Amino acid sequence: MTSLLSIARLQTETTVQTVWDFLSSGGPVMIPIALCSLVAVAFTLERLRTLTRSRVIPARLEEAEAKLGAGDHEGAKTILEEMNAPASRILLAGMRRQGHPVRAVEVAMEDQAHKELEKLRGNNRTLHLIAGVAPLLGLLGTVLGIQEAFHRVVKTKMGEPEMLASGIEVALVTTIAGLCVAIPTMLIAAHFSGKSRRLMLACDERLAPWVERLAGKPEIRDAA
């Protein structure tokens, strides 16, 4: 039994070492690719924490709406400013146009909603950038590796195909690594972009009734 455990442990260590050798064989270009992967992980965690319904439409919004509906505008404003969330800032924008025509209130809230959507999608652009840069870094590493392989063949004047094939095999490691970083990052970025839109749609549905409630009564002109 002890022998079997020792063999299993040895195989595991060999596998880990083989993976490390595979990654390290990519050369210096593997460093920026690794940094891209770390940044992608960091921004993914940030997106998971930020893009939640509780952060976009906090539970205290209901309390602010109740005060606003009861006519306590100052109390509602205080709560909304304390929340400092996308939904609260959109409603505050509408409150600043309170008493104005419906169109004025609607435009104010739409403008603020657009700004909030851009804020929510801000770090998604970083993920899209990493998804675009990582494969290019991989391609750069491959091109440099192939150039180095041919240079060695010419320099040593050896026509052995095994030597050239070995160099190209090592060069392709960077392309593989770049794609392994880019593909999941692109999928994650697309998911968060869609989630940002869904959260803002939910926010719009929640606050839409307040457009008419905050607007002033339309003027009624007497017929001539």
9 is a domain residue: no
Determine the Cα–Cα distance for residues 84 and 110; give it in Å rounded to an integer: 17
| Domain total of the chain | 1
The pTM of the full predicted model, rounded to 2 decimals, is: 0.75
* 176: nearest Cα among 148, 138, 134: 138
Residue 208: φ, ψ to 5°: -55, -40
19 is a domain residue: no
pLDDT exceeds cutoff 50 at 64: yes
Confirm whether 91 is domain-assigned.
yes
- The predicted model gives 34-40 an average pLDDT of 93
Q: Is residue 1 part of a domain?
A: no
Please say if the pLDDT value at position 169 is more than 90.
no
* Closest by CA position to 80, among listed 210, 198, 202, 196: 210
Domain that holds residue 209: 26-214
Q: Is residue 220 included in any domain, yes or no?
A: no
pLDDT tier for residue 44 given thresholds of 50, 70 and 90: very high
Helices 30-50 and 122-156 meet at what angle, rounded to 10?
Answer: 170
Q: Are 54 and 83 in contact (CB under 8 A)?
A: no
113: in domain: yes
Nearest to 89 by CA among 125, 131, 47, 55: 55
Q: Which DSSP letter does residue 223 get?
A: P
Whether residue 83 lies inside any domain: the answer is yes
Mean of pLDDT over the chain: 81
Query: Does residue 109 form part of some domain?
Result: yes
